[in-house]
A and B are shown apart, each in its own frame.
Chain A
């Protein structure tokens, strides 16, 4: 049971998204994989946030990983993305996203969004390490009763989140943010239908 990545993303509708802050835990990956997995966590966080309509919560499963997205929308146009393994329960993940976004909006003014590199939000690392144990989310869940009534859209593969005609392979190929090594890891993992390397 592990949280690999937490991110706050600026996701304006019909436009490309920007990662404002992100924290990743790559300690469970091997030396040569670590860099590529880091790049893929960023790539998937961005891709999925862009394809989640405002006000919606969705979970996307891909092999051994699950990405949960909450596009909070509103004036700030922020979305939160958490990438976990498949054992990590869903509701604590969304509770954490709600709390993360509330905290982020309270501390970081909207004017700072235009320059993501200048944003300092170290609390995201604390969230990442604290919520490795989802039982920690019990306390915040008690004050978020509304989550029980919220509909969460579940996608069994990342392909089902993509728009008609879009292919994940093309997105990976075209991406400038992914190195040649990462693309190699991706190609091999896809070919072997491997669940343990990169997504």
Chain B
């Protein structure tokens, strides 16, 4: 039986390697001489390396093969017996293989994604196997940021863990701003995803953001996993069994420490800061409901929370605008319980412009000091806006009246 490059490469992809990498050239520098043309890729310690020119060649082959096999998909249905049509079944594996090659080079190939969805629904492809391939693809620069890949991942998770309730808990929906409802077909909230799977999803998001730094869709997925985690808490609280709530809150707190570390290393990543603010508002909400959550484990952020974190970063890197915005976001969270946030923000802005902390700006280079001063002035101007004062004070008043 003659195997094509596309099929061989697809087969290697479907064994779920640890990482996938597209290496430059045609592989001559890596492969031993005399390597067969249909095996011109590397697999070392479960790391798949595909030479770029070889991938282009495989893609062209895969396109033709996919076109010829596609009509078979129409006949594939959940009722199709596995042993009824051996020839058809062989081609089903081929469809899986060639569609893997298509999405590796072109993750925007919607037809290839749909073909895979059809095969999963028909039971010809395991969901966990597919999730493992999705994780491996997150190590490819172009795939890590692609919306269709993330959408497919959530589709798989929803197939594995269907919606547990028709409506999201009223408590969650009320307490967390912009909480997605189940009418959002891409949501994960109110699905019954186990905690260890959510933790694996958080790790997958970290992996994707390390591959492609400004990864909007990676963070969006993380937001949705966070909602899934938050939607589990009210049900656990209703069961009146503390042992169910504690691990959920612990995961929230660990996630908060993880995103703080990420922000420390990526001081321009504003999406990460928004995520941290949302996470913190959830922690604030549930800490009040469950007293145990206020007990802190060693190494965790102190009681000043992310406001202190944001302030320390602003002092260290004052020329980064994202950090000043992070400070504003953090203040808005704590305004719910602390009436002095306006004064705190004014203090940070004025301290920086005053002589006391100014020398620290020498940490930066070039025009950094001028930029930093501009950000400080902007913060003070923002604080003087009636709308801002109203928001920060209104939240405090509202909390008091509750």
Contacts and interface: CB of A to CB of B under 8 A. Distances in A.
A148 B362 contact: yes
Contacts of A28: 210
B171 interface: no
A187 B362 contact: no
A178 to B, nearest CB: 11
B49 interface: yes
A14 interface: no
Nearest to B360: A138
Nearest to B320: A87
Taking residues whose C-beta sits less than 8 angstroms from the other chain, chain B's interface range is 20 to 34
Interface in B348-371: 360, 362-366
Interface string B360-402: 1011111000000000000000000000000000000000000
Contacts, number: 69
Nearest to A91: B363
A180 B21 CA distance: 18
A181 B27 CA distance: 9
A13 interface: no
Interface in A67-93: 87, 89-92
Contacts of A154: 365-366
Given A152-B365, A179-B29, A185-B23, 6 more contacts: A2-B265, A32-B42, A87-B266, A89-B317, A90-B364, A196-B141
Contacts of B47: 30-32
Given A87-B267, A89-B364, A181-B30, A30 B139 contact: yes
A101 B309 CA distance: 32
A89 B365 contact: yes
B24 interface: yes
Given A87-B267, A133-B264, A196-B141, A32 B23 contact: yes
Contacts of B317: 89
B343 to A, nearest CB: 26
B265 A132 contact: yes
Contacts of B19: 30-31
A85 B316 CA distance: 17
B1 interface: no
Interface string B15-40: 00001010111000110000000000
B271 to A, nearest CB: 16
26 contacts: A1-B266, A2-B265, A30-B21, A30-B47, A30-B139, A31-B19, A31-B49, A32-B42, A32-B47, A32-B49, A87-B266, A87-B267, A87-B268, A89-B363, A89-B365, A90-B365, A91-B362, A133-B265, A154-B366, A179-B29, A184-B29, A185-B23, A187-B24, A188-B24, A189-B24, A197-B24
Contacts of B45: 31
A125 interface: no
Nearest to B365: A90
A135 interface: yes
A134 B210 CA distance: 20
A188 B52 CA distance: 10
List 8 A-B pairs, minimum CB-CB distance, nearest first: A188-B24, A90-B365, A31-B47, A180-B29, A181-B29, A32-B49, A184-B25, A30-B21
Nearest to A1: B265
A1 B44 contact: no
Contacts of B42: 32
A141 B266 CA distance: 22
A33 interface: yes
Nearest to B368: A89
Nearest to A186: B24
Interface in A95-144: 132-135, 138, 141
Interface in A1-20: 1-2
A133 B139 CA distance: 25
A134 B364 CA distance: 11
B64 to A, nearest CB: 27
B78 to A, nearest CB: 39
B144 to A, nearest CB: 11
Contacts of B24: 184-185, 187-189, 197
Contacts of A92: 363
